[in-house]
Amino acid sequence: QNYAPRRRVQTPQPAIELHIQPQTVSEVAPVQQVVVSGRKSLKRIAPVRKPVSQILKKYRLDNEDGSIQWGYENDDGSFKEEVIGNDCVTRGKYGYTDPEGNRREFKYETGIRCGPKKNTEHVNAL
């Protein structure tokens, strides 16, 4: 039997060498010291959190025709307004203020139209 001569496989070398400077944990996020039941203290990275926006106003109106209107506005410029119609269709808009200060607004409508719901408070007796 004749076998082909063995060749040595060479792994390719990377074309570019990256010289990345490692960051310490404190450069990435604040660090807290945590002591776990008398053991050696551990370092834990504290999550970076945005402040929670505060509600400036919110409302809800139950209209006589059976529809419901509600909404809110936050101090960061975000908002939502919605009408749940008595025709089974919900219409509304929501939005926010982008980092450049422009108000972004989006409208929507959802649901399958039906006849208006009637307020029937009495039950027909037989």
| pLDDT above 70 coverage of the chain, percent | 56
Domain presence at residue 14: no
Domain presence at residue 40: no
Instruction: Tell which wins on pLDDT, 51 or 97.
Output: 97
pTM: 0.52
Domain presence at residue 93: yes
Domain presence at residue 39: no
Domain presence at residue 1: no
pLDDT digits (tens, 9 = 90+) for 20-37: 555 554 444 555 555 555
Domain presence at residue 79: yes
Instruction: With cut-offs at 50, 70 and 90, classify the pLDDT of residue 2.
Output: confident
Structural domain of residue 61, as residue ranges?
A: 55-110
Domain presence at residue 34: no
Overall domain count for the chain: 1
- DSSP states of 9-76: --PPPPSS---PPPPPHHHHS-EEEE--TTS--EEEEPPP-PPPPPEEEEEEEE-TTS-EEEEEEETT
Q: What pLDDT is attached to residue 44?
A: 60
Domain presence at residue 67: yes
